[in-house]
Amino acid sequence: MNRKVLGILAVGFLFVLSRANDASAQTVSRELPEGPLLRPAPEFSQWSVDFSYPQDRKDPKAGALAPLDPQLSRKIVTTKTRDILREEIKTVGGTATDNWQQNGSYYRKLPGNPYWSAYEKPTQLQIESGAAVIMTVPDSGFRGLDWVGRETYVGSVEAEGMTYLIFVPAESRTVDLSNTKLLQELPTIAFVDAKSRLPVRVKDKDVLRTYKFLTPPGAMQVVPADLAAEIKKGDEIKAKFNAAPSREY
């Protein structure tokens, strides 16, 4: 998706928010709703995430911004069928990778590389020590939304027939939900559909992510044959390593 289209998406969403300035089109509530505030992706689901960076939305009057890193994500399509996830990632530079996750292990093959790299789900101790390379998709299915929860919930806004649950970091908890301009300017804010409890739009450190849920798959997906062979080989090695010794020493 090119920058012009991403810019249109961003402006379109902010237009919906701007209509919230009209009291007849907006209802604000601070009451904490019942049930989970953010649901995990359904067992059979598919969604896309489009990324828009400040460089894509740059005001002509603003100062120059550094060129985008070509390795940054531009669009990610995730397909989930129970414990098998597929992430199709397209970068700003135009490269694409087809990555898989099965039984908690994440597999990536870089363009032009015939081999798969495997990343196991790190333990909490590894994460806390900073030693872990976290490549795996979280249990929710959504990357970068671990901060969305009761502690960061600030209320809901109803606009244009939709109700959004609003989340902001702790330092912005006093945000005025009726102040549309302020909401648009916050560097970090999340909008979750109050009905489905799935993400709609997230702005994290000025990077906009727009979520679109697609037609879910009707059957289990199957990992590529060469990856399946690698997984089988790895499982056999682990089984031998963990097997009890055949004789006493």
State pLDDT tens for residues 200-219: 999 999 999 999 999 999 99
Question: How far is it, in rounded angstroms, from Cα 194 to Cα 157?
Answer: 9
Q: pLDDT (tens digit, 9 = 90+) per residue, 170-205? A: 877 778 898 878 888 899 999 999 999 999 999 999
State yes or no: pLDDT of 60 exceeds 90: no
Cα–Cα distances in angstroms (integers) from residue 75 to residues 12, 51, 71, 106, 196, in the given order: 18, 6, 12, 19, 22
State yes or no: pLDDT of 150 exceeds 50: yes
- Which helix (DSSP H) or strand (DSSP E) does residue 225 occupy? helix 225-242
Query: Looking at the DSSP assignment, which residues form a beta bridge with residue 214?
Result: 46
State yes or no: pLDDT of 113 exceeds 80: yes
Q: Which residues contact 147 (CB under 8 A, 6 or more apart)?
A: 167, 169
Question: How far is it, in rounded angstroms, from Cα 187 to Cα 120?
Answer: 32
Structure token digits, residue 113 = 């590389």
Strands 44-52 and 73-81: antiparallel
Domain boundaries in the chain? 3-241
Mean pLDDT of 17-45: 78
State yes or no: pLDDT of 130 exceeds 50: yes
pLDDT of the residue at 21: 47
pTM of the model: 0.85
